[in-house]
Structure 1
Amino acid sequence: MQVTNFLRHHFRHFNAAALIDAADGYNKHLADGGKMMITLAGAMSTAELGIQLAELIRQDKVQIISCTGANLEEDIFNLVAHDFYERVPHYRDLTAADETALLKRHMNRVTDTCIPEEEAMRRIEHTVLKFWEKADKAGESYFPHEFFYQILLSGELEQYYQIDPKNSWMLAAAEKNLPIICPGWEDSTLGNIYAGHVMTGDVQNVHTMRTGIQYMMYLADWYTAQATHDSKVGFFQIGGGIAGDFPICVVPMLHQDLGRHEVPLWGYFCQISDSTTSYGSYSGAVPNEKITWGKLGEHTPKYIIESDATIVAPLVFAIVLGQ
């Protein structure tokens, strides 16, 4: 427990202390029989959070994930094209001409990391299109994450693996058949590609891909079945945006729109955020605001760590994993 011991010795005040409190709260929530949702905004898959997240999945320390379409696909891009990625540590100094040069090389920049179009995006497109077309011709429909599970478990991509597979959180999730919520999947590279294939007629039925409203219905039933007063569901939010706002709303929806008043509120809440608390910002809202929306209760354990998630999340997960 070298990492954990270091953190407990040095992280004593301010955001550092909040990190320790949040990690201890996470462990207590699980020890008390609770379940945990982790939400992924930003580009956490490209930041290789999968190194820790995959282990959390294998150890049953997360029971459901909500993420953007980008995080869903970018873990797999990294799995099959890692050797072709390029780091740009001087990204703050790039000129418009420098960015244009990257564009001409088909290198898509995410802060200091460039994702190669051909080896990552097009390689996955060639494979996923076959699964889309097969489902379309059979009159079947699946969620975005379910298509990825089919592809990963088929073994078709194994020939392209360029990282240790144990560091892919999507592969770990597929092996567990972990529930995933992916709101706004359309706002992703493969979402754009799917729209293109529907427009060209490669996929005849746009509803071959199940999306947002169906995800909320799926989450509502999952939460109703899993959340009890003896086994509440916690909410560990990395960043803000739709990955966090969409799933946390399931509780007020269950209470106010479906009348399932016996379903408990979220039983734990933590957010890692670098968003400034400001007027009207969901990402910058303090946790207590969620009480007024019927998401959290007065006595729900609540934590906020105001820092960079690429630094903080692996440290919290190290404590949860006892590393």
Structure 2
Amino acid sequence: MRTKGAISNFIEKYYLHFNAATLVDAAKAYEEQLSQGSKMLVSLAGAMSTAELGKIFAEMIRKDKVQIISCTGANLEEDIMNLVAHSHYERVPYYRDLTPDDEWGLLERGLNRVTDTCIPEEEAFRRIQEHIVAIWKDAEEKGERYFPHEFMYKLLLSGVLEKHYEIDVKDSWMFAAAEANLPIIVPGWEDSTMGNIFASYVMKGELKASTMKSGIEYMTYLADWYTKNSENGIGFFQIGGGIAGDFPICVVPMLYQDMELTDTPFWSYFCQISDSTTSYGSYSGAVPNEKITWGKLDISTPKFIIESDATIVAPLLFAYVLDM
């Protein structure tokens, strides 16, 4: 019999109503999915890597509590940036009081602000750029093509960044994913910093766009993975909204409507942590039942929406799943 730790016991004792109770219900349903042999997709939107979610998400990966990830290009790269440049980050707890002049001052110092945290351009972006560009060019010279996450796995597993590590590598979810060779979907990677850098090399004629596998190829890659892994169901745990969630969840209606694979199962579990409101057609704020009309979820699919801050909720829910 599994024994729960102090955090889980605290949650069960005090999280009894409203969003708190939904967190507990969603966590227990997450566990039930895994216990019945279902796999789980976790999607990461927002700046969760810069929020250092890797401290607990890496353990979720190591303990096989997540089997596939969908994330923005920013989350893909920012976990590695934190790994190699953590001491150069600056926190700005008074960020709500910043004037345009203050913001310009941060820019001039090479600090890119994400709410209360500033990412150091020189130490973070440029420290990675030198090595990732070499990997891109080496692949192109060999006539090889890879996905964005596969290039990042090559970077991490090559060891070239080890001398730059500034945090314990066990707190990097990308390193844990690379070691596990976990499948990752990165829709819209082109709008990330590394995506912009790659585009600049294409524009300068130093790389071919085709060296990087495309979003369409990501969708077909996901479709193949879903088809091969859905025998016992696949759950969908969504942090935030946007493309990191909308892209992968669409694979189900694509398979059975467009491919006419009518035995394709719906997602077997759905949970979203979001503080978006249901207005103006907002995808991030849409209640789970709306996804029934799009052929993504079944009537009986366990559905949860936790209306709260993911930087608070996700670590607690993951702690519960990990029996902490």
TM-score where L is the length of structure 2: 0.98
Aligned to 1:196: 200
Deviations 1:237-284 (A, max 9, x none): 000000000000000000001111112100000000000111311111
What is the rounded CA distance, in whole Å, between the counterparts of 1:211 and 1:304 in structure 2?
A: 31
What is the rounded CA distance, in whole Å, between the counterparts of 2:130 and 2:141 in structure 1?
A: 17
What is the rounded CA distance, in whole Å, between the counterparts of 1:58 and 1:320 in structure 2?
A: 13
Q: Which segment drifts farther, 169-178 or 130-139?
A: 130-139
Q: Does 1:219 align with 2:217?
A: no
Which of the residues 89, 96, 112 maps onto 2:93?
A: 89
Deviations 1:5-44 (A, max 9, x none): 1111110000000000000000001011110000000000
Aligned to 2:315: 314
Aligned to 2:299: 298
Deviations 1:180-232 (A, max 9, x none): 000000010010000001111221x111011210000000000000001xx10
Q: Does 1:60 align with 2:64?
A: yes
Aligned to 1:258: 259
What is the rounded CA distance, in whole Å, between the counterparts of 2:156 and 2:104 in structure 1?
A: 34
What is the rounded CA distance, in whole Å, between the counterparts of 2:217 and 2:49 in structure 1?
A: 24
Aligned to 1:105: 109
Aligned to 1:130: 134
Kindly state the Cα deviation for residue 116 of structure 1 after the two structures are TM-superposed. Answer: 0.3
Structure 1 runs, 4 residues or longer, greater than 2 Å off: none
Kindly state the Cα deviation for residue 77 of structure 1 after the two structures are TM-superposed. Answer: 0.2
What is the rounded CA distance, in whole Å, between the counterparts of 1:266 and 1:86 in structure 2?
A: 40
Amino acid at match of 1:225: K
Q: Does 1:116 align with 2:120?
A: yes
What is the rounded CA distance, in whole Å, between the counterparts of 2:117 and 2:74 in structure 1?
A: 14
Amino acid at match of 1:281: S
Taking every aligned residue pair, what percent have the same amino acid on both sides?
68
Q: Does 1:176 align with 2:191?
A: no
Contact 1:39/1:65 (8 A) holds in 2: yes
Kindly state the Cα deviation for residue 137 of structure 1 after the two structures are TM-superposed. Answer: 1.1
SS at match of 1:39: strand
Kindly state the Cα deviation for residue 138 of structure 1 after the two structures are TM-superposed. Answer: 1.2
Aligned to 2:78: 74
In the alignment, structure 2 segments of 5+ residues that lack a partner are none
Deviations 1:46-68 (A, max 9, x none): 00000111000000000000000
Contact 1:184/1:211 (8 A) holds in 2: no
Q: How is 1:223-242 mapped onto 2 (pairs within 5 angstroms)?
A: 223-228=226-231, 231-242=232-243
Aligned to 2:20: 16
Aligned to 1:280: 281
What is the rounded CA distance, in whole Å, between the counterparts of 2:117 and 2:214 in structure 1?
A: 29
Which of the residues 203, 208, 212 maps onto 1:209?
A: 212
Contact 1:35/1:234 (8 A) holds in 2: yes
Q: Does 1:142 align with 2:142?
A: no
What is the rounded CA distance, in whole Å, between the counterparts of 2:263 and 2:161 in structure 1?
A: 44
What is the rounded CA distance, in whole Å, between the counterparts of 2:234 and 2:126 in structure 1?
A: 38
Figure out how many residues of one structure are paired with residues of the other and give that number.
320
What is the rounded CA distance, in whole Å, between the counterparts of 2:73 and 2:214 in structure 1?
A: 11
Deviations 1:167-192 (A, max 9, x none): 00000000000000000000100100
Amino acid at match of 1:59: K
Amino acid at match of 2:241: G
Q: Output the aligned Cα RMSD.
A: 0.6
